Amino acid sequence: MGQRESEQLTQILLDALSARALCTVADLGIADHIAPGSPRSVAYLAKATATHEQSLYRTLRLLASHGVFRETGEGSFDHTAMSSALRTDAEGSFHAGAEMFHLLFHAFDKLDHTIRTGESAFTKAFGKGLFEHVMEHPQLAKVFDAGMTSFHGYETAAMLEAYDFSTIGVLADVGGGNGSLISAVLRRWPMMRGILFDLGHVVARARQSAPAQGLADRCQFVEGNFFETVPAGADAYLLRHVLHDWTDAQCVTILQHCRRVIPSHGRLLVVECVVPAGNDRSISKDYDILMMAGPGGLERTEPQFRTLFERSGFQVSSVTPTSTMVSVIEGRPIPIR
């Protein structure tokens, strides 16, 4: 084995340490202790966060080599664009995303179990499925909601630029979480009305934030389980990063419930990564392993989406890429004969 191959393989292994370092620094709230443009000494940061000064310095030095924080002098650090995004008061803050990983990272220690058995690493590590675990821990649920926005919030503007929602009268956001997505769509299209559909404890949190997001007058909140039913009354059904949580059989169940209530002129809109063929690098392949280890789902290729739609009574009518990692996969109901 040559030096290049050895160094590349070593780097892949060591990337796991960088991930843990980022999660730990987020959990400690280091970014909030540094005002942009006002470097702080590690001595100050260690005292403020009750950490070991030399260990903290070495951790921040590592992260700075990845562009997270910037060492400005011996033992002092300032912000970069990435570390600023870890501040809890940053617009579109990524803090919750890193905090969520910190709280759930133990699941990845069981990835070998998933590879050997096909069973969820998360379930092996925590003794129950991801969503059941989140539901049973209200504080984690709040972090989880915000973490999902950290990871996927930036996709919304790109989705609205790429795909034309203007002819939709009522949009149902199935598995809509904290309401940030449907809120953005309704703000963009003032004549549209919305339905936010999710589990009871999720909808309860969304209702609390509804006035601040401008949802109260134009959005109906419906509690339910999409494995059992989906509410009627919309002419388009949107699922963003929902199907990738589930197996094909589970997805068919969800989509068949959509098919039962969608009008003949309706649209199914699935917003997800589309895994490219070949050996090229794609973050969708990273997310695929995350889904495999976490909830037990998967990211899909375009042919896999087409098969999934057809099994559920839909036909893929278009695949619209965005400037982000996601595409809008549009489906039309196949007439029932």
User: pLDDT band at 315, cuts 50/70/90?
Assistant: very high
Return the biggest CA–CA distance within the chain. Answer: 74
Exposed e or buried b per residue across 287-299, where buried means at least 16 C-beta atoms within 10 angstroms of its C-beta: bbbbbbbbbbbbb
Residues 33, 14, 278, 332, Cα dihedral to 10°: -40
148 against 331, higher pLDDT: 331
Candidate from 28-32, 139-143, 275-279, 304-308 with smallest mean pLDDT: 139-143
User: pLDDT band at 20, cuts 50/70/90?
Assistant: very high
**Of 102, 244, 257, 265, which residue is the catalytic one?**
244
DSSP code of residue 328: E
Residues 231-277 pLDDT 10s: 999 999 999 999 999 999 999 999 999 999 999 999 999 999 999 99
Tell me phi and psi for residue 177, to 5 degrees: 60, -130
Q: Residues of CATH 3.40.50.150 domain(s) within the chain? A: 153-333
Query: What pTM was estimated for this model as a whole?
Result: 0.91
Residues 205-238 pLDDT 10s: 888 776 666 666 889 999 999 999 999 999 999 9
Dist CA 72 CA 76 (whole Å) = 6
Residues 56-104 pLDDT 10s: 999 999 999 999 999 998 899 999 999 999 999 998 899 999 999 999 9
Q: Of 2.60.40.10, 3.90.1150.10, 3.40.50.620, 3.40.50.150, which CATH number belongs to 153-333? A: 3.40.50.150
Q: Of 1.20.120.1200, 1.10.10.10, 2.40.160.20, 1.10.10.60, which CATH number belongs to 3-88? A: 1.10.10.10
| pLDDT of amino acid 288 | 97
Q: Is residue 36 classed as helix, strand or coil in its secondary structure?
A: coil
Catalytic site includes residue 79: no
| pLDDT of amino acid 215 | 67
Average of per-residue pLDDT across 37-58:
97
Candidate from 106-110, 169-173, 180-184 with smallest mean pLDDT: 180-184
Average of per-residue pLDDT across 24-45:
96
Name the β-bridge partners of 197: 174, 222
> Is the predicted pLDDT of residue 25 greater than 90, yes or no?
yes
User: pLDDT band at 196, cuts 50/70/90?
Assistant: very high
Distances (CA, A) of 47 to 50, 68, 155, 262, 310: 5, 21, 38, 58, 59
Q: Is residue 260 classed as helix, strand or coil in its secondary structure?
A: helix
Question: How many CB atoms are located within 10 Å of the residue 316 CB?
Answer: 19
- Average confidence score pLDDT of the chain: 94
| pLDDT of amino acid 214 | 65
> Is the predicted pLDDT of residue 113 greater than 70, yes or no?
yes
User: pLDDT band at 1, cuts 50/70/90?
Assistant: confident
Q: Residues of CATH 1.10.10.10 domain(s) within the chain? A: 3-88
